[in-house]
Structure 1
Amino acid sequence: MPLSEQEQRLLDEMERHLMQNDADVVSAPAGAQVLSYRNLIIGALVVLAGLGAVIAGIALWRTSLPLGLALGVAGFAAMLGGVILAVTPVKGSAPTPRSTGAGRGPRPARANSSFMDRINERWERRQNGDG
């Protein structure tokens, strides 16, 4: 059974709305910060070096308590610094918002009402026989 013209228009509008929402979901929020790949790699290497220092401090604990303690604390500080470095966003580089509505022309007059509200209104009109 083929769709009527009104049903086809409604389906097309729903598809456009879903495509627009999918693009909004995929694009990053305007206030999001970008992590640096370089900082992630360096941070991971610093964490591994700190872990090695902690293990070396534990190994030296029995032979030289002050040296093992100092090495363990320094290793822990290095691991903490590496994690902080890895998760710190790059300053001055926010993602550029993608234009999803370019070239689509003016918005409908009822742009302030939500998509679902408009669908519900149409459904009620259809059930009442208004067209």
Structure 2
Amino acid sequence: MPLSEHEQRMLEQMERALYAEDPKFASALEGSGLRTYTRRRVYQAVAGFLVGIALLMAGMVAKQVWLSVVGFLVMLGCAVLAVTGWRKAPKPGEQPAAGAPHARRQGRQKRSVMDRIEQRWQRRRDEQGGQ
């Protein structure tokens, strides 16, 4: 159920107040954790790919076929990780995927916070409507 215009304005006011009161805390809650996680994962995959190239070259120089094969497999695995990690990374402003490791944890927290906010909002509406 989408928020009404009044509810959206109230939420924006609360966000501005939070930023004004404690900008460090507010920036920590922005939800960039999944993007940071996937970006870090892609960087690790690129580093692993470079290690795979080094192993491949070392195997060729040392004439050790098994080392070259291991290097190729490491490169292949890291390339797959980088591509899948890049595809799963949410765009700025986009909702994270439900199956992502951090998204599950953050999703539960956000849902519970949103549930509490909704309950409080409903109680206020009911109290104001009853008066």
TM-score normalised according to structure 1 size: 0.36
Q: Larger helix proportion, structure 1 or 2? A: 2
Instruction: Find the structure with the greater CA-based Rg.
Output: 1
By relative contact order (CA 8 Å, sep 6+), the higher-ranking structure is 1
